[in-house]
Amino acid sequence: MLDRYVIANWKLNLPPEGIGPYMRELSETEPGPAMVVAPPYPYITEVVKAASDRVSVSAQNAADQDKGAFTGEVSARMLFDCGARYVILGHSERRTIYAESDALVARKVGLALAASLTVVLCIGEDLEARDGGRAGTVLAAQISAAAKGLGGGGDVIVAYEPIWAIGTGRNASGEMVAETVGQIREAIGKSWPYGYADRIPVLYGGSVTPENVGDLVAQGGIDGFLVGGASLDSRKLLAIHEAARTTA
Ligand code: PGA
């Protein structure tokens, strides 16, 4: 079995219950899928300090440069220094709102892997592509573009996040996810260095809640979840973790 993950993406939010209480709740995490929390940059060190040995910390983004005159940027190496061990790259909010291209994402992947971070590479199709039967083609293009960052090797997790399912309350069905994960593994086999296709964990993200997680675990053929909205409540996150832990 591949390693499994439940990753909490806080985005530009903090948990209403407060970081200390939230992290104390998470220290109750049972062994099973790795629990990873991705706070906004300035809170990374606080979350690292509050994390028990059951919980790791991720950044939500990183610069496509290592150092220099790039005002406002944070490098992968700095994130590692601050205790982050993962970084989410290519999230659809970065790709669409901040116009991050496939080439930019690939550069970030290369720098993050060189800094010993595990990359959580997000890919996903929009509704037009899904309805037009082009989801597989769109995902394969994103996967193939990211391959340019993989030269030096390193640990990568793929998060399949259909854009139409993010923050909309409309999640993909387990059946649809299973079919898409097959297409994703096939595309990885074609365009990434040998061996990646069989050992890459593939997660699902997009309106995951304690209520819909059961179907996704049972039918989705996935190795865990990237959770946005529901991850801001420690009890919901723990419920999702519990489902991923016990149903796999
Ligand atoms: P959501 O976000 O769970 O709020 O849909 C998921 C994500 O964007 O990672």
- Quick: pLDDT tens for 198-231: 899 999 999 999 999 999 999 999 999 999 999 9
Structure tokens at 152: 């030096």
Report the separation in Å between the CA atom of 161 and the middle of ligand 1, taken as the mean of its atom positions.
8
Q: What is the pLDDT of residues 52-96, one digit of tens each?
A: 888 999 999 999 999 999 999 999 999 999 999 999 999 999 999
161 is catalytic: yes
Please say whether the beta carbons of 92 and 124 come within 8 A: yes
User: How far does CA 15 lie from the centroid of its chain?
Assistant: 18
pLDDT at 180 over 60: yes
Q: Is there an atom of ligand 1 within 6 Å of 90 CB? A: no
Q: Is there an atom of ligand 1 within 6 Å of 167 CB? A: yes
Report the separation in Å between the CA atom of 98 and the middle of ligand 1, taken as the mean of its atom positions.
17
Structure tokens at 199: 């050992």
For ligand 1, atom 2, name the residue with the nearest CA: 228
Per-residue pLDDT, 169? 87
Q: Is there an atom of ligand 1 within 6 Å of 231 CB? A: no
Catalytic member of 91, 100, 125, 241: 91
CA 151/CA 170 separation, integer angstroms: 36
pLDDT bin (cut points 50, 70, 90) of residue 30 is confident
- Phi, psi dihedral angles at 59 (to 5 degrees): -90, 165
Q: Is there an atom of ligand 1 within 6 Å of 174 CB? A: no
91 is catalytic: yes
User: What is the reported pTM?
Assistant: 0.97
Cβ burial of 42 (10 Å; 0-12, 13-18, 19+) is: exposed
